Amino acid sequence: MSSTVGQVIKCKAAVAWEAGKPLVIEEVEVAPPQAMEVRVKILFTSLCHTDVYFWEAKGQTPVFPRILGHEAAGIVESVGEGVTDLQPGDHVLPVFTGECKECDHCKSEESNMCSLLRINPDRGVMIGDGKARFSINGKPIYHFLGTSTFSEYTVVHVGCLAKINPLAPLETVCVLSCGISTGFGATVNVAKPKKGSSVAVFGLGAVGLAAAEGARVSGASRIIGVDLNSDRFEQAKKFGVTEFVNPKDHDRPVQEVIAEMTGGGVDRSVECTGNINAMISAFECVHDGWGVAVLVGVPHNDDVFKTSPVNFLSERTLKGTFYGNYKPRSDIPGVVEKYMNKEMELEKFITHEVPFSEINKAFDLMLRGEGLRCLIRMEH
Ligand code: APR
Ligand code: ZN
């Protein structure tokens, strides 16, 4: 047993003191895990749009000071009371949404929207006692998405940790903790393209390229990438995207262009932009009779989806999905195995790396729209 069990740990964390201001590496105190909680030593974390979005705190309730970060990989340091399925030394991926295994959603084969541990960006405290486990000189530093992985140590509810194969390289499977599973799962679990079929992917960021990777491993023969930014096309070739459409190059709706390219529409489409017009196009570009469109991107609060009901009567299906429909504890270990068995590729998503002390560079890269994922290596 390590000497830190039951003790407060002092370690480095990147604290967001104010909206939009560079993170500051501070020494923080991390309290021991309470009932149903686990303290995790983070080894790798990566930056995702959701971190930037809540760091900017535009139009949301600001929760500061806060430790951001949710895409990560680490090792269990100690466990609180009642935790039976994890022990110190286990390798884990923290996940921003959980699986309590007891609620109606967790018991349903179809849902991954756990009632107890579903994503809640406004909450800055642990659900057990409503307190933060991080502090500086006794003042609380708030949590983010139940994960707060921009810290050498963090405390996470056991229901938000996927226990993975200890042989899996943490610096690579780290990206399965959020974005890549979201896009990949949207295709393989929800759109479910058949071998030889056509798939359109709207938005060629990390999430869309993960959706394309899902189409590639499903054996789709045509993967049509749609993006307003043609710079994305070169990179997308590595992800099996076979054709490209930039809506800006056409003076008619992109759904018409796609219908013409495919003799009536694609078999499946996956929308990974968060743009309402792309969502509508993604639905209207699927083939009548059997086409299925899946929405993944997060829209603006006041967006409204408008289409003719005839599009449904003519047997098109519209679905939406959250975290690729994966249940974090039950399903994510299996996704890691897919990577281990070389059934999916992950390295190509990691385009940059910085040491933890230079975490703000990862924010700069994302704000400039450069690369896909920037890996942040902790410096224990
Ligand atoms: N049509 C086509 N492409 C679009 C459109 C549009 N109307 N609007 C935006 N895009 C493209 C952008 O040019 C960009 O290349 O979508 C891509 C989105 O990529 P990223 O910004 O890198 O986002 P990513 O991390 O992949 O996440 C995609 O999923 O998690 C959600 O809310 C997040 O909505 C975002 C989406
Ligand atoms: Zn649940």
Question: Who surrounds ion ligand 2 at CB < 5 A?
Answer: 100, 103, 106, 114, 116
- Which of 239, 258, 273, 298 has most ligand 1 atoms within 8 Å of CB, for mutation? 273
Calculate how far, in angstroms, residue 262's C-alpha sits from the geometric centre of ligand 2.
41
Calculate how far, in angstroms, residue 272's C-alpha sits from the geometric centre of ligand 1.
5
Whether the ω angle into residue 65 lies within 30 degrees of 0, i.e. cis, is: yes
**Enzyme catalytic residues:** 48-50, 70-71, 100, 103, 106, 114, 118, 178, 373
Q: Of the ligands numbered here, which is closest to the C-alpha atom of 113?
A: 2
Could you tell me if 227 and 234 are in contact, meaning their C-beta atoms sit under 8 angstroms apart? no
Calculate how far, in angstroms, residue 251's C-alpha sits from the geometric centre of ligand 1.
21
pLDDT score of 60? 77
Q: What is the token pair recorded at 334?
A: 């299996």
> Atom 31, ligand 1: which residue's CA is nearest?
297
pLDDT score of 2? 66
Tens digits of residue pLDDT in 5-20: 999 999 999 999 999 9
Range 50-64 average pLDDT: 90
The reported pTM is: 0.96
> Atom 17, ligand 1: which residue's CA is nearest?
203
Tens digits of residue pLDDT in 69-114: 999 999 999 999 999 999 999 999 999 999 999 999 999 999 999 9
**pLDDT exceeds cutoff 60 at 332:** yes
Strand partners, 245: 226
Range 341-350 average pLDDT: 97
- Which atom of ligand 1 sits closest to the CA of residue 53? 32
- Which atom of ligand 1 sits closest to the CA of residue 298? 32
Nearest partner of 55 among 148, 164, 194, judged by Cα: 148
Percent of all residues in the chain with a pLDDT value above 70, rounded to a whole number: 99
pLDDT score of 3? 85
Average pLDDT, the chain: 97
**pLDDT exceeds cutoff 90 at 61:** no
Tens digits of residue pLDDT in 220-272: 999 999 999 999 999 999 899 999 999 999 999 999 999 999 999 999 999 99
**pLDDT exceeds cutoff 90 at 281:** yes
**pLDDT exceeds cutoff 90 at 58:** no
pLDDT score of 59? 74
- Does ligand 1 have an atom closer than 6 angstroms to the CB of 270? no
Range 312-317 average pLDDT: 98
- Does ligand 1 have an atom closer than 6 angstroms to the CB of 207? yes
- Does ligand 1 have an atom closer than 6 angstroms to the CB of 206? yes
Tens digits of residue pLDDT in 133-167: 999 999 999 999 999 999 999 999 999 999 999 99
- Which atom of ligand 1 sits closest to the CA of residue 48? 25
DSSP string, 64-98: -SB----EEEEEEEEE-TT--S--TT-EEEE-SS-
Strand partners, 226: 202, 245
Domains and CATH numbers, the chain: 9-18+47-65+73-177+325-377 (3.90.180.10), 183-314 (3.40.50.720)
